[in-house]
Amino acid sequence: MNRLLTAALLVAAFCASPAALAQAYPVDDSGSQVLSGNVRMKWDSVLPRPGQASTMTGRLTVLVRLDVSPWRGRSGRIYKKLAPQPSGPVLAQWTSRGVLLPGQLRDGERTLVYSGPIVADRLEDTLMVTLQADGDRLPDQSQLSFTFEIELESP
């Protein structure tokens, strides 16, 4: 009986935690702009060693403009997401010049880029992005789908 009560209390505590209750909302990033156009991917090694991945790397600059007006006056956490890629694993790493956190993520993941109060209608930053992918599986033309979402803190 004690184990059942303990398990029930743990489940209740988890369900009441803010992380369990957090709902993610999409953030409009349609104002964002890729400055460098198409990314030119270059081989990391002309002749990889046996067993070494044949990776390609490319760099781009993105002006990120997030419309956070629906949540102005609230606090929240904004995450950057990269959809799974059918061509194989992709790694994105970036540095920032403003309010967004530097970081990295792989396709199919999300990572925190902002946490705090939303005091304006837009969050803006410039990201210097480095992409790395498996060159053996990368098609000639490929499009990555980055998105942003917000989880609000309790009022």
* Residue range 122-135, pLDDT digits in tens: 999 999 999 998 87
- Report pTM: 0.79
Q: Mind listing the pLDDT tens digit for each residue in 95-122?
A: 999 999 999 999 999 999 999 999 999 9
CATH code that applies to domain 23-152:
2.60.40
**Residue 14 phi, psi (nearest 5):** -65, -45
8 Å CB contact between 79 and 111: yes
Cα–Cα distance, 44 to 51 (Å, whole number): 15
Look up residue 31 and give its amino acid: G
pLDDT of the residue at 97: 96
pLDDT at 7: 42
Query: Is the predicted pLDDT of residue 56 greater than 60, yes or no?
Result: yes
Q: Answer yes or no: is pLDDT of 37 > 90.
A: no
Beta bridge partners of 79: 112, 149
Interstrand relation of 122-134 and 42-43 (parallel, antiparallel or unpaired):
unpaired
By percentage, how much of the chain surpasses pLDDT 90?
Answer: 57
Residue 17 predicted with pLDDT over 90: no
Q: Mean of the pLDDT values across residues 55-84?
A: 95
